[in-house]
Chains A and B, each alone.
Chain A
Amino acid sequence: MTHSRTHAHQATSVADTPGGPVTPDPHTPLTTSLTTLHRHLTARLGEAARAWLDQALDEAAAHPGTHGPISPWELRLAEAGRRCGPEHADAVRVLILHAARADTDALTRVYAQGTAAERRAVLHALPHLVSGPQALPLVEDALRTNDTRLLAAAVGPYAARHLAAHQWRHAVLKCLFTGVPVTEVAELDRRARADAELARMLGDYAAERTAAGRPVPQDLYRVLPLTDPEAGPPAPVTPPPPAADHGTSGAPHPHTAPGADGAHGKES
């Protein structure tokens, strides 16, 4: 029965909804403890997928490390999407990496040889598996891409802990440019507080957008108040009128995706 995992029934949904609401369940919370993650996942996986996962985790725990061109646990990482469903693949892969006790070298290898989905899982695994800054090159690689899924994974807790100020500011700005919600940026409050240079960059960006007659991403007004040295808990998000000298042309457009501009596109 070779067709069994072909999601043919989904053909209808994709045909009917242009990039539409095919969002899976809210993601398994990847920043929670791995125990919680495992419990959450177990509750959601079907029987076959759960059995597969249990076996994959046992196997990874029994045979960690690198064996030949591709280790058994690396094979399990590669097939996690089709075994457990794409919506659970990140969480499953994080658990397998943990079970295999993947160190920075192993994570680097998986990242380098991985699909975008595997790379994203490695980025999510970093805060759980690497205590020092030695895996930063993976975060930096992801931040150079234009793939919003990788960007969102790169600005997680590991980057919050270890990314240097200059790169971190550029990461925040890139989120605004590419429309990655700044809610994805871990410890945004702590890292933005009293960051005068970030405030300047945000102000300049708003001015540039306004000068071009383009909307300023609403998320910019979520970050800007956080740079205040006196900033308390996060303020409610109510974008003020743009502090611009070009009238109202820069007002956020309700139907325009934040930052769907791609002025950064020349980076590629």
Chain B
Amino acid sequence: MRIFDPHIHMTSRTTDDYQAMYTAGVRAVVEPSFWLGQPRTSPASFLDYFDALLGWEPFRAAQYGIAHHCTLALNPKEANDPRCTPVLDELPRYLVKDQVVAVGEIGYDSMTPAEDTALAAQLQLAADHALPALVHTPHRDKLTGLRRTLDVVRESHLPTDRVLVDHLNETTVKEAKDSGCWLGFSVYPDTKMDEERMVAILRTYGPERVLVNSAADWGRSDPLKTRKVGDLMLAEGFSEDDVDRVLWRNPVAFYGLSGRLDLDVPVTDVTHEGNSILRGPQKTEA
């Protein structure tokens, strides 16, 4: 089973996770820029983070045979902090980079006027840079948040078929599907979505334009949730082709809209130039 996790915050994860993900079949990830848990207080803090997503993290992923791309943006929560919003002026020079495959995560957290402004501005940045957009939908007041999100998308210059609305659930999936957007589901141990509900949604709405992610981060989350969904799909009668479509071809198609997806892993593996991450000599089974 080949797996593309279209939304995972690897900067919060250990190398053990990379190893386990590779073993489970993960060969590609997209890491959206997001809130770090601890609020930032200046644009410089964003820039160091963007640099990490464009430098160190792809290097780390490559050690484990995983292709790494990113999406960059001012996240919804920090769009409300005037100390952070100047990063919007810095985004254009980052959005031209080879590994940036979308603008994101953008969207609503608390549905404030500041979030309206940041969302509209960044949808425009996506349109200007010929990039798709990854749009987070809010956790609180979710259906209202989805409707407001779709309104802003429709008013933007970005067509809905270049927008992925994420963190959907039973209450939001139908309107999101009717909008023509791509449909993202974050499968979590406790919140958002679980494997059983995910499979039920796939049965009702089909696999078209559906992307499943672990959205794993520094909170309680599981970077192997994508695999678990694939396993349950098979157990529940979906075909291997359905699984491949949801876990590989759909994310390849969506992020491929950027024209920048390169699924070849750069050669930085241990047998080539060695590496600085695998600590201690590798145990070789004789």
Contacts and interface: CB of A to CB of B under 8 A. Distances in A.
Given A14-B65, A119-B55, A6 B259 contact: yes
Interface residues of B, number: 53
Given A7-B261, A75-B96, A256-B284, A180 B274 contact: yes
A69 B92 contact: yes
Interface in B272-286: 272-282, 284
B59 A147 contact: yes
Contacts of B2: 11, 15
B120 interface: no
Contacts, number: 174
A198 B265 CA distance: 35
Interface string A79-99: 111100010010000000000
Interface in A215-268: 215, 253, 255-262, 264-265
A113 interface: yes
Q: What's the dominant secondary structure at chain B's contact region?
A: loop
A2 B260 CA distance: 10
Interface string A5-23: 1111011011101111011
B99 A23 contact: no
A259 B274 contact: yes
Contacts of B65: 14, 17-20
Interface residues of A, number: 60
B263 interface: yes
A253 B54 contact: no
Residue in A3, A8, A11, A75 with the greatest tally of chain B CB atoms within 10 Å = A11
A72 B52 CA distance: 24
Contacts of A262: 275-280
Contacts of A118: 97
A190 interface: no
A86 B262 contact: yes
A48 interface: no
Contacts of A157: none
Contact of B282 (A177, A260, A265): A260
A43 B63 CA distance: 31
A133 to B, nearest CB: 25
B274 A115 contact: no
B200 interface: no
B58 interface: yes
A178 B55 contact: no
A112 to B, nearest CB: 9
Given A79-B96, A148-B275, A14 B55 contact: no
Interface of A: 2-8, 10-11, 13-15, 17-20, 22-24, 69-70, 74-75, 78-82, 86, 89, 113, 115-119, 145-149, 152, 177-181, 214-215, 253, 255-262, 264-265
Interface of B: 2, 22, 27-28, 54-56, 58-59, 62-65, 67, 89, 92-93, 96-99, 130, 248, 252-253, 256-282, 284
17 contacts: A4-B259, A17-B65, A18-B269, A20-B65, A80-B98, A86-B98, A116-B56, A147-B55, A147-B276, A149-B273, A178-B273, A179-B270, A214-B281, A259-B274, A262-B279, A262-B280, A265-B277
Can you list the 8 inter-chain pairs with the closest CB atoms, starting with the nearest? A179-B274, A19-B269, A6-B256, A116-B55, A146-B276, A81-B98, A19-B65, A18-B65
